[in-house]
Amino acid sequence: MFTFVIANFEIIMTTKEYSNYKQEKISGRYITLKNIEPLLKDIASFFEVTELGKSFLQKHIYKVKIGTGKKRILIWSQMHGNETTGTKAIFDLFNFFKAPKTQKRLRDQILETCTLIVIPILNPDGAKKFTRVNAQEIDLNRDAVDLKAPESILLNTLLHDFKPHYCFNLHDQRPIFSVGVESNPATISFLAPSINEERTVTDKRKETMQVIVAMKKMLEKHIPNQIGRYTDEFYPTATGDNFQKAGFNTILIEAGHYNGDYSREKTREYNFLALLSGIKEISMPKKYNYESYFKIPNNEKKYFDSIYENVILKGKKNKIGVFLKIILFNESIKFIPAYKILNNSDRFSADTIFSKELEFTNIEEFKSYVSIKKME
């Protein structure tokens, strides 16, 4: 059950109610312009849908304007073309804002106090090829200074024209991330980007942290111990770091793994909830203690899709971790296993397989064995 507080009363949103907002016409991990353009046409009678510009390959980049309030919020997704969970959550958010009756007071409050501009897919060329980079092989999230990509220029121009009070930068992270050294995957992770190598906590960065604390508090009721904090190491060319440095509060949301949810439909729900609770906090700030941000556990690379115990390689007992790499094949997503020998016992998985101390000459022989067993 999701709880929002407005003034002196509560508004309750259940998981069942979320299904009323879920945009069922998009799902899975592969989302392109072809998937979203009909949906943008459908919402054009509710919101202002216009073209922001064009990608390197002259594909449309759209923006959607919602609300009339003085607090300005900029949201973008698929800066990395193969990171799509945030895009799905954005279309759920659109459905929330055009709902006729449910959550009316919350919705009206946000629309009256905030103006949102949303870019559903910033990198349509990368989305089509299911790649992190754009058609120029540029990582848009590392192009905030040089601005070599037209997509980066469009975002940067919009930033300075719109002058948002807050930005939401939506990404996906790999399923290898755990919540600290605990045995849970990092389903949702947050970051208040640094503005320098010293990671100085400025007043603007404190404001960013306060919104993250509000989002974390909401999510903790539903995915306890599955919320992480992405590294705040300063990246001189990164988008979030430079936007925050320029005075535009920027919140990074990383959608991660939820056990068994390889299509990231469950994670999508929590991504939607994080966005909505963050926007609510901006609309009606409670001013959470920013220091609670530092209590969110750091992400660690300790999670695997599967772990095989008791594997003997050259006479030595090993753990072998399996993580699934995602590739695009004929416009369909395929999961390809990759293997790693784990010398540390401090690794986790929801699927631990205890073998009977089977011995192999090398890891390639073990991989062949696993492949054959899965085919049987």
- Dump pLDDT digits (tens) for 179-211: 998 889 999 999 999 999 999 999 999 999 999
User: pTM of the entire structure?
Assistant: 0.94
Q: What is the pLDDT of residue 376?
A: 44
- The confidence score (pLDDT) of residue 291 equals 97
Q: How does pLDDT run across 227-269, given as a tens digit for each residue?
A: 999 999 999 999 999 999 999 999 999 999 999 999 999 999 9
User: What does the pLDDT read at residue 182?
Assistant: 85
Q: What is the pLDDT of residue 254?
A: 98
Q: What is the 3-state secondary structure (H, E, C) of the chain?
A: CEEEEECCEEEEECHHHHHHHCCCCCCCCCCCHHHHHHHHHHHCCCCEEEEEEECCCCCEEEEEEECCCCEEEEEECCCCCCCCHHHHHHHHHHHHHCCCCCCHHHHHHHHHHEEEEEECCCCHHHHHHCCCCCCCCCCHHHCCCCCCCHHHHHHHHHHHHHCCCEEEEEEECCCCEEECCCCCECCEEEECCCCCCCCCCCHHHHHHHHHHHHHHHHHHCCCCCCEEECCCCCCCCCHHHHHHHCCCEEEEEEECCCCCCCCCHHHHHHHHHHHHHHHHHHHCCCCCCHHHHHHCCEEEECECCEEEEEEEECCEEEEEEEEEEEEEECCEEEEEEEEEEECCCCCECCCEEECCCCEECCHHHHHHHHHHHHHC
Low-confidence ranges of the chain (pLDDT < 70): 1-14, 344-345, 355, 372-376
